[in-house]
Amino acid sequence: SWAMLDICGTQIALTLTDKHPPHIAFSIDPAEDWQSGIEVNTHRDKSQYVYKKDPSGNTIELIKYIK
């Protein structure tokens, strides 16, 4: 249902539209705390993520890679 491409250090995930909304993701520092009240989800690789909407209604994913 998904594939990950790494192009010169930039990761591009290809997913089925019924599994994830169209979006762009930004990696954040694992030491940063999530805002309270946000539902935090976990990917298969154990990274944590949240989806947010920007003022124009676009979906943005914030992701923490936990090692």
Q: What is the pLDDT of residues 10-53, one digit of tens each?
A: 888 888 888 888 888 898 888 788 877 888 999 888 899 999 99
Triad 44, 6, 48: Cα angle to 5° = 30
pLDDT of 67 over the 80 cut: no
The pLDDT of residue 63: 92
